[in-house]
Structure 1
Amino acid sequence: MNSLSGTLIRRLPRFQRPCHLVRYVGTANEESDKKLNPRHFLLLLCPITAFSLGYWQIQRRRWKLDLIEKIEKIMPSPPIPLAEDVKASIDLPEFQPITVEGRFDHSREVIVGPRAIITDDIPTGAYGSAWGSRPSAEHHMKESNLSNFGAPAPNGYCVVTPFEIKDRPSVFILVNRGWVPTALRDPITRPDGQIQGTVKITGFIRYNEKPPPFTPDPKTMSNAGKDQEPHRQYFSREVIRISETLNTLPIFIDADYASTVKGGPIGGQTKVLLRNTHTEYIITWFSLGALTLGMWMYWLFF
């Protein structure tokens, strides 16, 4: 009996889970892995964000094209007089041609830069000049009687001077008279260019220029003339800041090249450069959205 029972014990099969239960449990586990959970929703944010940015770039492209169209129409238009109800540059479209009559207050002149002179080297297709072709830099220097200093300097400064409007006593605006080389940034070095009396100028309305990050604060130059207030240097066209310092209206005009006088700054320093790369961004963001969406669906269903 003992031997028989031992034989029976040795021959008893080990308990195994039925095959149909194994298949059922395995399928249940796989379905559990593919069931949506918070992690899936978190990863879905990637394609949603990419598609949203692509749509935003479509809106930006439409805005940029409208802006370019407006500038192309307004810059060649005839200049209009500066109306009395205009209290700031933003009351008019930027690059609106303007004509104004009055006198300069050279004692409060400031400089903005350093900046390179704008010449006919700027491509017309980049909206660098609405005036057509411009004389070369060497011609600029000769016409303004600055050829004594040799070839045009790669960098210089824009001269910004308060301008008192005729028949409106003590009402001043800001006029960018033009570019001078570094050697002539001090007004005492160019007395012939400091025109006196009533003059009529034409130019473009300009808006405030946001300084780039880490732009230094304006600084006072130590080489001011005897009757000159401390000469200040700004590093960008900060219309609001300059107007508050000089007690003028926040109206800024870029004088045209015709305003250039012998020995004075070289006018026509208006640069319009609008980059329209939104199409590339649209393709990039929608491609990234499609790629990440495909990866998400593959991970969820396969």
Structure 2
Amino acid sequence: MRAAVVRSFGGPEAVEVVETEIPEPGARQVRIKVAAAALNPVDAGVRAGFFGGAGQQIGFGWDVAGTVDATGVATAWSVGDEVVALDPGMVRPAGTHAEYVVVETDAVAKAPRTVDAVHAATLPLNGLTAVQALDLLEPAEGQSLLVTGAAGAVGGFAVQLAARRGISVTALARPGDEEFVRSLGAAHFTSGAVGAGGVDAVLDAAMVGEPALEWVRDGGVYVGVRPGAHPASARGVRTTSVAVTADGARLAELAALVDRGALTLRVAETYPLEEAAKAHARLEEGGVRGRLVLIP
């Protein structure tokens, strides 16, 4: 099969599409024939060598939408099921940017029925990151939450999910994004600093860091989206960061919200797998609204 990989760290030009063996599913695993797979900032980090693996072939991609085409023992999935899944991993020979991928059965959920595979592929990583970050925040109905990077992929999901829980969301984004983030459910908008101690909690999808911590009231909560990169606690503010994990049950809940029109999926551009390097170059340029998606 074909897979997008890096064998020598560098910029977008380091991305290669190579032939490699089709993986076989083991017990409690399924193989998915990939229909679409999103490109995320973590893939740029892998390409640049931030997570190690020098001298190895390292595959890209955590998100996948496609069709089950083989199963191991002890799985409830059947060949032909249309699914989405999260396949996390920093250093492995191939990821979801390939023609086939093997994932754990518990990581899989039925694909949303109301969108195509390209849109469905934008849900797993960013949707699960948002919902698991909210789990860490534990906001109560009526409390205030600031979401930084609210127009981004994780931030956009977080705004929608928090608003559905009755949380008063303030969206921090660029001035031109105000109409969009309000359409997601943000009650308030800002494109600059927030008053000190002005909110109960911050979900820092833009990784503002220390300044965002100052915006949280004494005894509030700060959650970042880069594992281990959150600032130290101050003024009794609990600080932590989300390390996203595969969770098919939660992913199924998110897919159901998509089908009810409660979650917006955004695709910026699509690229054939052979043009993976071009997709990385576009990601490097910045300013992408929605996800870049690779199609094998």
Band of TM-score, shorter chain: under 0.3
Rg (Cα) greater in structure? 1
TM-score with structure 2 length normalisation?
Answer: 0.26
TM-score (norm: length of structure 1):
0.26
Which structure is higher in helix share? 1
Whose relative contact order is higher, 1 or 2, with alpha carbons under 8 Å and at least 6 apart? 1
Task: From the two aligned structures, give the one with the greater strand fraction.
Answer: 2
